[in-house]
Structure 1
Amino acid sequence: MIKVAYLQCPTGISGDMCLGALVSLGVPVEYLTEKLNKLGIAQEYKLRVELVQRNGQEATKVHVDLVHNHHHHDHEHDHHHGRHLPEIENMILKAELPSRAEAWSLSVFRQLAVAEGAVHGIAPEKVHFHEVGAVDAIVDIVGTCLGLDWLGIESNHEGLPLLYCSALPTGGGTVRAAHGEMAVPVPAVLKLWEMRGCPVFSNGIDRELVTPTGAAIATTLTTEFGSPPPMAIKQVGLGAGTINLPISNILRLWLGDDRANNSEDTSPNLETITVLETQIDDLNPQAIGYIFEALFAVGAVDVFTQPIGMKKSRPGILLTVICHPENLQTCEAVVFRETTTLGIRRSTQQRAILQREIQSVELKYGQVRVKVAWHGENKDKSIANIQPEYEDCAELARNHNIPWREVQQLALQTWYSQN
């Protein structure tokens, strides 16, 4: 079985929360300390682990206590010791870490240097990490990479761990940093999100919820953001944040087996979707076609209407929008803007989906794309559906003045003859 992991971040992510979740999953603190001490910082810090309560839930809190100034790892923006990127890279390369942990650590720091450099208008190599170059943040990043490697999470084709991550909360308010008072999210975090196209949302909590270290780990090592991948969960690690929040300040790291890549599993994949519904009885029907286009333009998966009877026997329509959770707000905004509705119902559901890809066939009239869907991993033996793309068939039918059905059937025949 292929081992994968999923970061669920309802209250954000930081380096120490990652360490806490990994230790909760069984990564030995002694192993982390042994490997981290090879960075040449053994005299500068001590790792300390405790079980804490966050809104009635027990989670693991990892502290990085700095020896020289007795600074406690409560907030990444209080660090004063800094290092430049080349010094950090040299420390990692000399430490003889496991190869994957070494590569991942270098990638995280490089990503962070690029983001910081873009914020300050300087080259990555010239970035002075006022916060994240501090000993505790080096421990957080390298320790996280060591822990992911120790758990045996598989690597993807780019050499990064098969690590997935939920959308991240934006937080709010301000925080004091080395450059003074800053709005949350701080510039480095915002730049990291921009570089990766990271999905975000507001949970209504005006605190710093995603730190630069946490953002660098997530945006560098994550294979994909969004809903959990198809997986059989074997264990969940709980990493505690420092402060108490209105909701449990816990990072949850799910560890499991990848069902999508299990060759024996021929069941469809499951994904989480959001369904929006509203009934309308006072809108010009001509507007509906425009609403469809507007919703698809912002990421709707499907849109449809049904005729319904409303109060006082008035005829109306039920508008239904299916979208991924990260597109909920944009789809909802379109419906409010383009219709007369005063309310939209939301529900979250799971749907089973077949794996699919777009192939092409060459006809005497031109090229037609064909959507091919199948069960499980063995595409050649478990084809479930073949469907030529409507628009391609329609365009050829118009251009050559022939029936659409003739083009569609020819595309199917051609695909089957080639496969």
Structure 2
Amino acid sequence: MEHLAYFDCPTGVAGDMCLGALVDAGLPVDVLHQQLSGLPSEVRFTLAVQPVQRQGQRATQVLVHPQGEQPHHRHWAEIRTWLAEAHLPPAVQNWSQGIFQRLAQTEGRVHGMPPEQVGFHEVGAVDAIVDIVGTCIGLHYFNITKIYCSPLPLGSGTVKTAHGIMAVPTPAVLQLCQQRQVPIYDNGIDRELVTPTGAAIVTTLAQGFGRPPALKLERVGWGAGGRELPLANILRLWLGSPPASALTEPVVLLETQVDDMSPQGLAYACERLREGGALDVWIQAITMKKGRQGVLLQVLCHPELVAPCEELLLQETTTLGVRRQWQERRLLPRRLVTVMTDWGEVAVKVAEYTGRRVNVQPEYEDCARIARTHGLPWKQVHQQVLHRFWQDMGQES
């Protein structure tokens, strides 16, 4: 059973907002405390959970108070060792390590050093560590299997950091958003809206950025930011499951047209794109300016593969640019069943809609293998598989 989470971020995203939204959605504070106790003893803190008002709207704020002498600067190697030794559920451990690893790689690019030498300042503080690990604990508590996020308003102005006064968005936030091709916009608020911690959480865990996926909304959590802003400073967390009738997921359509490539080069480019994980690749004949005959090359891919697919298009074709469209595709629930034929087993894909069987399709490769092996027409094999399916399973629900 899939469980979906959607981070709706009208005023950006920060680690404490993510954690606050999860607690507001129903993550028990005692469960959070119990699992956070699996962190090493060096991470000493107390939690304060309180309801607050932001522009007249109720939300939950989670404050992390460090205890004792706590450094504000820790290296990636130290945090990685802590997480490896922590007593945490495997999923929480893997997610947390992935978030910090992405941060280390990003900070390394920003400062021109290997990730192993990166020292975290604000992100290495106890509150940031608890925000990241606590967010992963909350997502694991709700058995979340897929995470999505809205486009992000990055804010503007300046912010004081351990490296001095920096322009907003900070270099790390820009790098994180660029790596995942996050859609960004300006909401007119002159403040830092996306922190490195928040950006690292969503760019590591989210499968896509854009409009919310289709889901049966089961819970909503409201996580408060620390400041009052012209817009209610609240991250809204939507939790639910896919509709029973169909699954919807975000996809990106990439397209470009060319009129100066050989058919062999185009075929090779399409092959590379499919090998690179594109969901589908197709070509249409078109007439371009000055009556030139050309082709429209279109690629459908998951959001996380936009950058590598665009790179392949730019490297393997003669195009000078690529357009992209953020879309959603609807998927019917499907399952594979095995049908026994005179020539052996064949897998058959069965798709359903509102509990009714609406599409039955034998697997092409299985039919092609049998046709080649036995010297039969492919369509004969295909037809017998369908006949056997309806004969043996047509009455099943």
- Structure 1 length normalisation: TM-score? 0.61
- Counterpart in 1 of 2:359? 382
- Counterpart in 2 of 1:144? 135
CA drift at 1:271 = 8.5
Taking the aligned partners of 1:16 and 1:66, their CA distance within structure 2 comes to 14
Which consecutive aligned stretches of 4+ in structure 1 deviate over 6 angstroms post-superposition?
377-380, 416-419
Q: Does 1:207 align with 2:191?
A: yes
Q: Describe the SS at the equivalent of 1:13.
A: coil
- Counterpart in 1 of 2:17? 17
- Counterpart in 2 of 1:293? none
Q: Describe the SS at the equivalent of 2:143.
A: coil
Q: Describe the SS at the equivalent of 2:218.
A: strand
- Counterpart in 2 of 1:97? 88
Taking the aligned partners of 2:75 and 2:331, their CA distance within structure 1 comes to 48
Contact 2:43 2:126 in 1 (8 A): no
Q: Does 1:48 align with 2:48?
A: yes
Residues 1:110 and 1:376: Cα distance change in structure 2 (over 3 Å): farther
CA drift at 1:376 = 4.5
CA drift at 1:96 = 1.8
Q: Describe the SS at the equivalent of 1:34.
A: helix
- Counterpart in 1 of 2:204? 220
Taking the aligned partners of 2:249 and 2:116, their CA distance within structure 1 comes to 43
Q: Describe the SS at the equivalent of 2:27.
A: coil
Q: Describe the SS at the equivalent of 1:100.
A: helix
Where does structure 2 lack aligned partners over 5 or more consecutive residues? 252-287, 290-295, 301-326, 333-350, 361-378, 387-397
Where does structure 1 lack aligned partners over 5 or more consecutive residues? 72-79, 155-161, 273-288, 291-296, 302-349, 356-373, 384-412
Q: Describe the SS at the equivalent of 1:60.
A: strand
- Count of aligned pairs between the two proteins: 288
Taking the aligned partners of 2:45 and 2:133, their CA distance within structure 1 comes to 14
- Counterpart in 2 of 1:110? 101
CA drift at 1:31 = 1.9
- Counterpart in 2 of 1:83? 74
Amino acid of the structure 2 residue aligned with 1:214: G
2:123 pairs with one of 106, 109, 132: 132
Q: Does 1:26 align with 2:26?
A: yes
Residues 1:353 and 1:5: Cα distance change in structure 2 (over 3 Å): closer
2:174 pairs with one of 166, 190, 197: 190
Amino acid of the structure 2 residue aligned with 1:240: A
Q: Does 1:233 align with 2:224?
A: no
Taking the aligned partners of 1:62 and 1:187, their CA distance within structure 2 comes to 26
Taking the aligned partners of 2:213 and 2:76, their CA distance within structure 1 comes to 34
CA drift at 1:224 = 1.0
- Counterpart in 2 of 1:366? none
Q: Describe the SS at the equivalent of 1:7.
A: strand
CA-based RMSD of the aligned residues comes to 3.7
Contact 1:271 1:353 in 2 (8 A): no
Contact 1:86 1:125 in 2 (8 A): yes
- Counterpart in 2 of 1:179? 163
CA drift at 1:375 = 7.2
